[in-house]
Amino acid sequence: MDNINYDYDAIEIKTSFFSLLYSGIILLTLFIIYYIIGHLFFENKLYTDYEVKNNLVRVLFSLVFAGSCSLFELVIFEITDILGLSSRRFYWKIVIYFMLGLVSFVIPFYQSYTVCAFSKIRHIHVTFTIILFLLYLLVFWRISIYFPIYSKYAAPKDINALTEGIGRVGIFGVTFMAILSAFGAVNSPYTTLSIFLKPISKNDINVAERKYQKTMENILMKKRRLLKLKEKHMESEQHNQRQSLAHIFNIFKPKTNEISKLNEEIQELELFNRQLFQAIDELYIEKDKIAFSQTWLGKYNNKLGYFFSGYCLYKIVMTVVNILFNRIGETDPITYGLDIVVKSLQLNIDVNLWSKQLSFIFIGVLILVSIRGLLIQIMKIFQNYSKALSPDIIVLFLAWFMGTYFLSFVLMMRMNLPPQYRTIITDVLKSIEFDFYQRWFDVIFLISALLSIVFLYMVDQLQKQKLLLE
């Protein structure tokens, strides 16, 4: 009998090992595919016109992208019951530890090293890097003092390195999510509904283009004048090189001042012309939007825009309700909505069965939309700051931002899952105070939504003034 039990235990261990190995091969293969996709996005979308010579920066960005996709992949596997339960939980922890290591330590350290690269002396460079990284660690560690990230029911044994890390990362990530979601909720009606389109005529564009051409001619004229002044200055310098220093200073000073003044005028005109070029581009975009809105596809998009605008308005209203009444939803939106429809129409439908299928579709769409939305934001950030900052610094920040965002998205996604599928998150992060992150999201979302309304109104007024000036 003992031999039978021993053989049974050995078979179970062997099966478990092969299950882990099989799951690991599948997940590693998918991870490599995600890594390649992240690398291609980096090369073909972010840096089409710029060259990043630092290969480690590319690798870090692609690793974070692959790790983020793997997180969502395991959530989908949980819903669809793909791979063994123990394998899913094992690799779920590994992926979270992997992402936390990148976001909490590797990327911040290398970012500190890159920022301090202004010093060419090695020991000074290393010293400043260590100081900056230690300051970051101090802020990262101390931030938990000011936020209730742990559940009051959490046992000391449940608080480990994983919950310590994701609890702190979640504060930053949930804040980013709330800000982006709020701006999207406010900006969505503004960009999708045809009622917000500005009437643009061909004459408006022609006037702006003539002004651009006139300014360009003015710049060329001033540059020719500047070139002549510099030539005269060089001739005078050669002619008077034997005269006294004081006499030379008195002769050159007026010409030098005139050259400097002319340079400033040219720079101001070039700045104005760049802004004018952007305004003309915006006029063409607006004109194309008006033309598109008259097509059947444009009318369909407009109706779809009303639907999404209604959802965005509902989201803002429910956020206000949650804050005022200190309410935290316990039912996922799919089950809640399906339950209302079934009761209203008196349908004979198994809510639990259908909620599983619809939850799979909803979470899949939610993940795809979130990844797409974040990548669009990343591209906008890069386009705005790529010329002002070092490309390495920008990419490292974007990699950190992406990892932080998606780790926090896992925390927030828990509320969108039916209770039976939340265990993959709650079992591993049982000491986390999930309600705090939901409330924090609501508060930041509401503040950001109000600020976004003010911001978009000011931008709209500035654009109107710009069009009047043109």
Confidence (pLDDT) at 13: 52
d(CA 402, CA 396): 10
20 in the same domain as 163:
yes
Contacts 24+ apart (CB under 8 A), 291-299: 293/194, 293/197, 298/194
Pair (434, 450) in one structural domain = yes
Structural domain for 262, as ranges = 200-291
At residue 176, what is the residue type? F
What is the CB neighbour count within 10 angstroms for residue 305?
19
Same domain, 458 and 344: yes
Q: Global pTM?
A: 0.68
Tell how far CA 2 is from the center of its chain.
59
d(CA 150, CA 163): 9
Instruction: Indicate the SS3 state at residue 432.
Output: strand
User: Which one, of 362, 377, 400, 12, lies nearest residue 172 by Cα?
Assistant: 400
Write down the pLDDT at residue 32: 92
158 and 56 belong to one structural domain: yes
| Counted domains in the chain | 2
Q: Is the pLDDT of residue 452 over 70?
A: yes
If asked whether residues 383 and 255 sit together in one domain, one would say no
Q: What is the DSSP string of 91-150?
A: HHHHHHHHHHHIIIIIHHHHHHHHHGGG--SHHHHHHHHHHHHHHHHHHHHHGGGSS--B
Distances (CA, A) of 200 to 207, 289, 296: 12, 10, 20
pLDDT in tens, 252-271: 445 567 777 777 777 777 77
Domain boundary among 236, 266, 291: 291
pLDDT at 33: 92
Same domain, 309 and 245: no
Is residue 38 within 8 Å of residue 66, measured between CB atoms? Answer: yes
Q: Do 326 and 435 belong together in one domain?
A: yes
- Is residue 74 located within the same domain as residue 162? yes
Spatial separation of the C-alpha atoms in residues 126 and 113, rounded to whole Å: 7
CA dist., res. 445 & res. 436, Å (int): 14
Tell me the pLDDT tens digit for each residue of 57-76. 888 989 999 998 888 888 77
* 130 pLDDT above the threshold of 50: yes
Q: Are residues 234 and 169 in the same domain?
A: no
Is residue 30 within 8 A of residue 70, CB to CB? The reply is yes
Q: Is the pLDDT of residue 346 over 60?
A: yes
Tell me: pLDDT of 236 over 70: no
pLDDT at residue 314, rounded to an integer: 73
* Mean pLDDT across the chain: 73
Q: What angle do the packed helices 85-101 and 391-413 form, to 10 degrees?
A: 140
- Same domain, yes or no: 38 and 95: yes
Higher-pLDDT residue of 351, 323:
323
Task: Report whether pLDDT(228) > 70.
Answer: yes
Over the stretch 384-414, which tens digit does the pLDDT of each residue have?
555 556 777 888 888 888 888 888 877 777 7
Q: pLDDT higher for 449 or 14?
A: 449
Do both 320 and 385 map to the same domain? yes
Residue at 248: amino acid letter: I
On whether both 244 and 278 belong to a single domain, the answer is yes
